[in-house]
Structure 1
Amino acid sequence: MHPRFLLALTPLLFITAAHAVDCDNATTQGDMNQCAGQQYKAADKELNTLYQQITQRLKDSPDAKKLLVSAQRSWVAFRDAECKFSASGVEGGSVYPLIYSNCTTSLTKARVEALKTYLKCEEGDLSCPVPGA
């Protein structure tokens, strides 16, 4: 990159960093959209951590791991399609990112709870596909 281009971008970095949103008191649509996106990212991060823990426990069970991967891919496709449908009434509007992110956050948190259940299986529980730690 050309040094002048980098210098031109420098003020934008400071403006973005200086505009930290107080999500507890967000009042503009842009701020609410940003906060909803942050909530989804936090839920998705937790989901990915749990998913990795389960895949580690399934390392000696390639068939079960393959089933988990398939289930997770299907779940992601469902989540995305469901949230597109859920937010379709406001598509193109400024509130769309908020509605969509709230939906993805809600469904992701539900999936997080399901994965947590798999990680708490009792030894000998034949209805649980994930071995204990």
Structure 2
Amino acid sequence: MKTIFFIIALATFAPWSYAADVFCDTGRIHPIDDQFALELEQSGGTTVDIRNAQGNAHEGWDRELNRVYRELMDILPAEEKLLLRDAQRAWLNFRDTEARFWWSENISGGGTMQPINVSGYGIEQLKGRVCQLSKYEQAAMHF
């Protein structure tokens, strides 16, 4: 079972299999993903360059998360701001706890690929949360 999960994780997060996907049903590739794909392609499979590309993507998605969160907070009424703040705090706690879980050898496989797998998962978490918040923002703007 451990081997099967590791192969699935490797296929999902391995940089050589990364292709920039359409972001959040927009029909477009997000510029952060586009840059990430370019940096991975230029890495030549060198671990340090892969990790640098992942770091840049993580920073980009973290900035995007904060930007979308601030924009959403600006348009919500006071009571909903409190709910979003609480939800975001809970999500951050979940993200951090999930990351610790992903660092376990039984989940991310250990070895030299472990940091790449864990980082890839973290990037996908951030990207997913940006998508969620973006959808909330779109909904809030229509009411």
TM-score when normalising by structure 1: 0.66
Alignment equivalent of 2:63, drawn from 36, 40, 45: 45
Q: Please tell me whether residue 55 in structure 1 is matched to residue 73 in structure 2.
A: yes
TM-score, with length taken from structure 2: 0.62
Identity of aligned residues (%): 30
1:33 aligns with 2:51: yes
Taking only aligned residues, the RMSD between alpha carbons, in angstroms, comes to 2.4
1:97 & 1:74 partners in 2: Cα distance? 25
Residue type of the alignment partner of 1:23 = L
2:113 is the alignment partner of 1:81: no
One-letter code aligned to 1:81: T
- Contact kept, 8 Å, 1:37 with 1:98, in 2: the verdict is no
The Cα offsets for residues 76-121 of structure 1, whole Å up to 9 and x where unpaired, read as 1111211221232159854443222211110111111111111212
Does the Cα contact within 8 Å between 1:43 and 1:109 map onto a contact in 2?
Answer: yes
Q: Does structure 1 residue 24 correspond to structure 2 residue 10?
A: no
Q: Would you tell me which structure has more helix in proportion to its own residues? A: 2
Over alpha carbons, which structure has the higher Rg? 1
Bigger drift between 95-104 and 70-79 goes to 95-104
The count of aligned residue pairs is: 103
CA contact (8 A) 1:47 1:108 kept: yes
